[in-house]
Structure 1
Amino acid sequence: MKTLLLFRHGKSDWKAAYGHDHDRPIKKRGDRAAARMGRLLAEAGEVPERIVTSSALRARQTLEAAARAGGWTAPVQVSRALYEASPETALDVVRAAPDEASSLMLVGHEPTWSALVRLLIGGGSVRFPTAAIARIDLDVTAWSDAAAGRGTLIWFLIPRFFG
């Protein structure tokens, strides 16, 4: 069994000065929500063993806020592939994870996360608000075996539920 955590970036700042969407930062509200989620995962014992984040600034800032607040120390890889990724591309990132890690977090974007959840659990509909996290347990022993329909949605956490 492998555990996949999908973390959507915090609320972004559309009014900030940035040249390209890739460089759009998160708002203070997004930073607070990310920190809340980081603490929540740490308190629940759900800290990931490995993390891959989109290279987009808002995803990296979200991860930094969550990791700082939760005291996470997992190795982090920055991936350009997760920015504007298809669900299949995101699944390829999952499949490339090292098998010694039993849990993996991806930090990224919509609509990729909703589509990836549907793909992994074999249907359904999930709307991913900013800074939400979904846990999907995959019925595999190797990340490379992750495939459509091999996952079970265990929980879905939205920051506004927690203050």
Structure 2
Amino acid sequence: MKKLILFRHAKSRWDLGVKDQLRDLEQIGIERTHKTAKHLKSILDFDIEFWQSSPAVRANKTAEITATYFPEKPMIHINENLYTFSFFDLLKQIKNIPDEHQTAIVFGHNEAFTEFVNRMGNRYLENLPTSGAAIISFDSPNWQGIEKGTTQTIIKPKEL
């Protein structure tokens, strides 16, 4: 059984005139990420073994904030290929998670995240909001073999 958490990056700034990958977080995004991370930690019945993030500043900072809620400072792997908005590219990266890890968290971007939840989970989601998270379990012994799974939880920070 594999368990995946998709955590969408926090609301980011558009006012600085920087390249998309370099956009920083809005204050409200930071606050909502803290709410989601705290709630996520409180409901998890498993340890997160593998952490990875898009290289975009907004995704990586979201991962760093979330990591502060976990007692052992996790190593966050930066995966250049997670800077994607494509379901197919995201699926490829998730299928490449090392099989020794039963659980993983990935920080990245929409539209890929919402589409992933809808295609690979069993609950329809109109939109995974910024600082939102979804937990999906897969009845597979390896990541390469994941198919339609079970959406266990969807966390929307505005509802917390």
Q: TM-score, normalised by structure 1?
A: 0.88
Once the two structures are TM-superposed, the CA of residue 37 in structure 1 deviates from its matched residue by 1.8
2:154 equivalent in structure 1: 156
Render the CA deviation track for 1:117-156: whole Å, top value 9, x for unaligned.
Answer: 1221368343111100000111111111123xx2111110
Distance 1:122 1:36 in 2: 25
Distance 1:155 1:123 in 2: 9
Deviates more, 1:84-93 or 1:64-73: 64-73
What letter is aligned with 2:82? Answer: L
% same residue: 26
Deviates more, 1:37-46 or 1:60-69: 37-46
What letter is aligned with 1:154? Answer: Q
Structure 2 unaligned blocks of 5 or more: none
What letter is aligned with 1:75? Answer: M
Call closer, same or farther: CA 1:161–1:47 in 2, change over 3 Å.
Answer: farther
Aligned-residue Cα RMSD (Å) equals: 1.8
Deviates more, 1:125-134 or 1:66-75: 66-75
Once the two structures are TM-superposed, the CA of residue 52 in structure 1 deviates from its matched residue by 1.2
Q: TM-score, normalised by structure 2?
A: 0.90
Q: How many residues align?
A: 159
Render the CA deviation track for 1:40-81: whole Å, top value 9, x for unaligned.
Answer: 222223552111101100001111111124445333211121
- Give the conservation status (yes or no) of the 8 Å contact 1:54–1:79: yes
SS at match of 1:137: strand
Deviates more, 1:92-101 or 1:41-50: 41-50
The 5-angstrom pairing of residues 1-163 of structure 1 reads 1-15=1-15, 17-45=16-44, 46-71=46-71, 73-121=73-121, 124-147=124-147, 150-162=148-160
- Give the conservation status (yes or no) of the 8 Å contact 2:85–2:110: no
